[in-house]
Amino acid sequence: MYESANVSEEADRTAFRRAEKKYKLYYEQDSKFSRKKKLPKPVDLSALLDFDLILQDFNKNGVLPDGIRVAEADSPVFCIENRPGFYFIPGALSLEEQCKWIKESLTNFPQPPNRTNHNAIYGPVSDLFDSAKANKVLVQEDPTSETCINNNNKWKFYDGEEDIEKAKRRSCKSVPASSLLRKLRWSTLGLQFDWSKRNYDVSLPHNNIPDALCQLAKTHAAIAMPAGEEFRPEAAIVNYFGLGDTLGGHLDDMEADWSKPIVSISLGCKAIFLLGGKSKEDPPHAMYLRSGDIVLMAGEARECYHGVPRIFTDEENSEIGALESELSHESGHFFAEYIKTSRININIRQVF
């Protein structure tokens, strides 16, 4: 679902694509410096919906912008009138909850048998975050070695310089765990999504979604559920974004019943979210997503194109100073160093 650089000229003409290009991060040379220093190209952000400010104004004055309403009286859940089934809950998670799910997303969620984007090349990769923290290196094993024969795994983490040098002398391929962590793009929880076939493969082994995350999803999904029904969290896809990463316009259309919401949790750096219509010709609403925000998409909103054209990783705009401090205080600097230039999104779904 990450955006491809090869976009047709025809697609470039759609309203959704024009919005993506408008808000995407581009660089330009800084004329003040003789060396080729590049700075982010300025972009007009004045048209973005800012639900933090909308909530503040609503609490203070009881006023809402045109086209925005609250889901229920005295509710901090906002809706967009021409996008039925879309719900925005600003600041839904406390700092403590945000820290908890950032740590889970980096340590437990990518653990086998859950699948990640690394499976295709390296097979199951265990303890990636801890290995990166310990400066370990993933080394391709000799196919004739006992490790490969017994474990059917051609890659193994090493942390000793002597072992790494031996591997290099054997002409084995290697990659630092820190590089793999930065290249982690997705992991899957619960029922596993097969990206090659674009469907859920119930035969694949998996770890269940943690009970606490299930309860969190059920609680926030309730307002978007059909009357008398309770949300059943059966699968989750965790997306990891770094500097310059985007998520191109798409539909989440592989679940059986679109009346049930997708529960989308934002963690880390602030981002721009585009909510389009049922055609990419429909001009999208652009809005900020901050750490701790939750978005629900149910019913008609499930048919709307949506994407993330930009995340803000600079200190001035990322708006995660308090989160960094809390993470550093709780768990040391390594989690904070990761999240200061990253965004994590947990999407929880009812599959059947």
Q: Is 142 known to sit in a ligand binding site?
A: no
195 exposure class (CB count in 10 Å sphere: 0-12, 13-18, 19+): middle
Q: Give the long-range contacts of residues 74-77, CB within 8 A, separation 24 or more.
A: 75/223, 77/223
Q: Is 306 known to sit in a ligand binding site?
A: yes
CA distance linking residue 266 with residue 59, whole number of Å: 23
Structure tokens at 24: 């995407």
Polymer length of the chain = 352
CA distance linking residue 286 with residue 284, whole number of Å: 6
Structure tokens at 109: 């969620």
Segment (H or E) for 75: none
CA distance linking residue 262 with residue 347, whole number of Å: 6
Beta strand extents in 130-180 (DSSP E only): 137-140, 155-158, 174-176
44 exposure class (CB count in 10 Å sphere: 0-12, 13-18, 19+): exposed
Q: Is 252 known to sit in a ligand binding site?
A: yes
Beta strand extents in the chain (DSSP E only): 27-29, 38-40, 68-70, 78-80, 86-89, 137-140, 155-158, 174-176, 186-190, 192-194, 199-201, 235-241, 247-250, 262-268, 271-275, 285-289, 294-297, 306-311, 343-349
Which residue ranges make up the annotated binding site for Fe cation? 250, 252, 306
Binding residues: 250, 252, 306
